[in-house]
Chain A
Amino acid sequence: MNSRERFLAVLAGETPDMVPVVPVLDGYFAPKLIGRRNDDCWADGNCLAEALAAAQRQFDHDGVVAEMGLGPDPDVLGCRVEIEGNQVPLVVETLVEDAGDLAKIPIPDPWRDGKMEPVRRLAEQVGREAAILGSVRSPFEYAATVRGLAGFFADFYRDPEFAHQLIAACLPATLAVGKALVRAGADAIVIKDSFASTSMISPAHYREFAYPAEAEAIAALKETAPVILHICRNSLPILPEMARTGAAALEIDSPVDLEQARQAVDGKVVLKGNIDAVAVMEKGSPADVERAVKVAMAAAKAGGRFILSTGDSIPAGAPLENVAALVEFGRAYGKY
Chain B
Amino acid sequence: MEGDADQAARLGGEITAADLSADSILSTLSAAMEEVGARYETGEYFIPEMLRSAAAVEAALQVLDPFLFERRADQAGVVVIGTVRGDVHNIGKNIIVSALRAGGYKVYDLGVNVSAAKFAAKVGEVDADLLLLSAFTTSTKQSLLDVISALEAAGLRDRVKVVSGGAAHSPELAREVGVDAFAGDVKSTLAVCRELMGGS
Residues of A within 8 A of B (CB): 84-88, 90-92, 149-150, 153-154, 156-157, 198, 200-202, 205, 278, 315-317
Q: Which of B10-18, B27-35, B45-53, B72-80 contacts A (4 or more CB under 8 A)?
A: B45-53
In the bound assembly, the distance between CA atoms of A219 and B142 in angstroms comes to: 43
CB distance from B118 to the nearest CB of A (A): 14
B139 near A205 with CB under 8 A, answer no
B94 within 8 A of A: yes
B184 within 8 A of A: no
B87 within 8 A of A: yes
With contacts A90-B87, A157-B52 known, what are 15 further pairs, Cβ within 8 A? A84-B85, A84-B86, A86-B139, A87-B86, A87-B140, A90-B86, A90-B88, A91-B88, A92-B88, A150-B90, A153-B91, A156-B48, A201-B47, A201-B48, A202-B48
Interface residues in B58-100 by Cβ distance below 8 A to A read: 85-91, 94
B124 within 8 A of A: no
B149 within 8 A of A: no
Q: Can you name the residue of chain B whose Cβ is closest to the Cβ of A150?
A: B91
A154 near B139 with CB under 8 A, answer no
In the bound assembly, the distance between CA atoms of A200 and B48 in angstroms comes to: 8
A149: chain B residues at CB < 8 Å are 89, 91
Residues of B within 8 A of A (CB): 3, 46-49, 51-52, 55, 85-91, 94, 113, 137-140, 142
Q: 22 A-B residue contacts at CB 8 Å?
A: A86-B139, A87-B139, A87-B140, A88-B86, A88-B137, A90-B86, A90-B88, A92-B88, A92-B113, A149-B91, A150-B51, A150-B91, A150-B94, A153-B47, A157-B3, A157-B48, A200-B46, A201-B47, A202-B49, A205-B46, A278-B138, A315-B138
In the bound assembly, the distance between CA atoms of A118 and B91 in angstroms comes to: 34
The verdict on A205 contacting B86 (CB below 8 Å), with A85-B142, A153-B91 known, is: no
CB distance from A84 to the nearest CB of B (A): 6
In the bound assembly, the distance between CA atoms of A200 and B51 in angstroms comes to: 11
In the bound assembly, the distance between CA atoms of A292 and B140 in angstroms comes to: 28
Q: Can you name the residue of chain A whose Cβ is closest to the Cβ of B142?
A: A85
CB distance from A231 to the nearest CB of B (A): 14
B85: chain A residues at CB < 8 Å are 84
A88 near B113 with CB under 8 A, answer no
CB distance from A214 to the nearest CB of B (A): 18
Partner among A84, A201, A278, A317 whose Cβ is within 8 Å of the Cβ of B46: A201
In the bound assembly, the distance between CA atoms of A205 and B48 in angstroms comes to: 9
A198 near B94 with CB under 8 A, answer no
Q: Can you name the residue of chain B whose Cβ is closest to the Cβ of A154?
A: B51
B113: chain A residues at CB < 8 Å are 90, 92
In the bound assembly, the distance between CA atoms of A85 and B89 in angstroms comes to: 17
A202: chain B residues at CB < 8 Å are 46, 48-49
A201: chain B residues at CB < 8 Å are 46-48
Partner among B48, B88, B89, B140 whose Cβ is within 8 Å of the Cβ of A154: B48
In the bound assembly, the distance between CA atoms of A86 and B138 in angstroms comes to: 12
B87 near A198 with CB under 8 A, answer no
Q: Can you name the residue of chain B whose Cβ is closest to the Cβ of A203?
A: B46
A156: chain B residues at CB < 8 Å are 48
Q: Can you name the residue of chain A whose Cβ is closest to the Cβ of B137?
A: A88
A153: chain B residues at CB < 8 Å are 47-48, 51, 91
In the bound assembly, the distance between CA atoms of A88 and B90 in angstroms comes to: 16
Q: Can you name the residue of chain A whose Cβ is closest to the Cβ of B138?
A: A315
Partner among B3, B46, B86, B138 whose Cβ is within 8 Å of the Cβ of A85: B86
B138 near A200 with CB under 8 A, answer no
B94: chain A residues at CB < 8 Å are 150
Q: Can you name the residue of chain A whose Cβ is closest to the Cβ of B140?
A: A87
In the bound assembly, the distance between CA atoms of A88 and B138 in angstroms comes to: 10
In the bound assembly, the distance between CA atoms of A315 and B168 in angstroms comes to: 12
For the complex of A and B, list the 5 residue pairs with the smallest distance between their C-beta atoms, beginning with the closest: A153-B48, A87-B86, A202-B46, A87-B139, A156-B48
B142: chain A residues at CB < 8 Å are 85
In the bound assembly, the distance between CA atoms of A149 and B46 in angstroms comes to: 13
CB distance from A8 to the nearest CB of B (A): 33
In the bound assembly, the distance between CA atoms of A156 and B88 in angstroms comes to: 21
A88: chain B residues at CB < 8 Å are 86, 137, 139
